[in-house]
Amino acid sequence: MEKQKKILVLCGGKFAFQSLQALAYEKFLCGVGIGKGNDRTIDALERESEDNIVAFKSFPDKKSLKEMRIWLDEVQPDYIFSISFPFLIPEDVLSYGHDKFINFHPGPLPQYRGPMPIFEVLKNQESQTAICAHLMSSTFDQGNIIFNDIVQIENKDNYGKLTVKLSGRMAHVVINMANMVQFANKIPNRPQEETDAYYFEKPDFTDTYINWKRMGAEEITSLINACNPWNTGADACFQGEQVKIIAATVVDKPHNNKVPGMIISIDKDNSINVACSDDKQIAIEIMSTDEGIVSPKEFNLQRYIVGACFN
């Protein structure tokens, strides 16, 4: 039996917790580094690390990365796993061993490079996503791919649900990768296919805004799911007020050429039915307004809305 490999994890917060637990349980974990992170998360991780006699270090900002190489030289891990670590690892740190840094990207590569692939796959109505294990390079998400482990996306998945699902699956993928580095003679990897590659920037208002004139019902509900809960829903404008639509479903009913964005009716279950550009409707179930998070019934009490338009 070969000596157990020592793995240090660089992470960004609670998304990595299950993976850390799994690695600690299997006795792979030798250190934890957290980038940014709130005080509560940092305290919890530091305490757990102390209890488990695992090295711990916080990297609150880019400047603090200067200390990373010294820390690695002290801890001497065999491999460094990165799970949603928010900073690009500088070249002088990567020179610790270029084939020793493995990132776990929560989206398929090379198609979904960028900081928020969970948002992008949901917005693009993909039926499956992946956790990609890849070697790290001095640019984001561009190192050689080891494997893409596919994860199915359910219709009901929103950003929050898919994140929780991926966090659980991440623990399995990370343990599988740990076993690979433990037992493999060589870590197989291949360069990314640049013709399939796309880098998605962090989404801004134009990405989360519902364009009623252009978007069909499925497209709109996918955007709403992709924005829940991190953006408190998809952005829209109603009678001059910025609102967010948090939950909605597709109603496969024609609206007979009503203006896209127009509120057609209010259902018995109090959902608001809105015309979309593809002659289908969506039923809005929860919204966020200046007055708080409201059900359509509460929203309707505030004003007469049938015939009015989102724009």
Partner 1 sequence: MQKIGILLARSTFYHTISFDLYEGLRQSLKRLGRSDIKIVTENIGFGADKQQCYRSAEKLLLEENVSLVIAYIGHRTAQLLRPLFLSANKMLIVLDAGANLPQEWSASPNIFYHSLHNSLGAWLAGKQAANDGYKNGGMVTGYYDGGYLQTYSISKGFEKAGGKICFNHATGYKKEDFTMVPLKSFLKEFENPALLTLFSGDYVQWNFEELKETLNKNTPIYLSPFGFEETMLETAIHPNTKIKGVAAWSKSIENNENTLFTETIESIGRTPNLFSLLSWESAKIAIKVLDLLNNNNGNILLTAQGLHTYEFDSPRGKVKFHSKTNTSITQLYNAEIVTSEDGKCQVRIDNIISDTVEEFETMSQLELDNISSAWHNSYTCI
d(CA 183, CA 86): 29
# residues near partner 1 by CB under 8 A:
23
Report the residue number, 97 or 188, with the smaller CB distance to partner 1: 188
Answer yes or no whether residue 280 interacts with partner 1 by CB under 8 A. no
For the bound state, the minimum distance from the C-beta of residue 170 to partner 1, rounded and expressed in Å, comes to 11
For the bound state, the minimum distance from the C-beta of residue 34 to partner 1, rounded and expressed in Å, comes to 25
User: Cβ contacts of residue 52 below 8 Å, gap of 6+?
Assistant: 24, 29
Question: Which of 1, 2, 23 is closest to 11 using CA atoms?
Answer: 23
Residues 19-38 within binding reach of partner 1 (CB under 8 A): none
Report the residue number, 133 or 236, with the smaller CB distance to partner 1: 133
Q: Which of 177, 251, 286, 287 binds partner 1 (CB under 8 A)?
A: 177
Stretch near partner 1 under the rule CB under 8 A, chosen from 3-11, 171-179, 232-240, 273-281? 171-179
Report the residue number, 177 or 220, with the smaller CB distance to partner 1: 177
Residues 180-209 as x/- pattern, contact with partner 1 by CB under 8 A = x-xxxxx-xx--------------------
Question: What is the residue-wise DSSP string for 127-183?
Answer: SEEEEEEEE--SSTT-SPEEEEEEEE--TT--HHHHHHHHHHHHHHHHHHHHHHHHH
d(CA 32, CA 36): 13
Dihedral-angle region of residue 14 (phi above 0 means left; psi in -120 to 50 means alpha; beta otherwise): alpha
d(CA 154, CA 233): 18
DSSP letter, residue 186? S
Report the residue number, 131 or 276, with the smaller CB distance to partner 1: 131
Q: Which of 32, 146, 215, 275 binds partner 1 (CB under 8 A)?
A: 146
Answer yes or no whether residue 171 interacts with partner 1 by CB under 8 A. no
Alpha-carbon separation of residue 302 from 58, 130, 268 (angstroms): 48, 43, 18
For the bound state, the minimum distance from the C-beta of residue 241 to partner 1, rounded and expressed in Å, comes to 43
CB 226 within 8 A of CB 158: yes
Which residues would be at the binding site for partner 1 (CB under 8 A)? 1-2, 133, 146-151, 169, 172-173, 176-177, 179-180, 182-186, 188-189
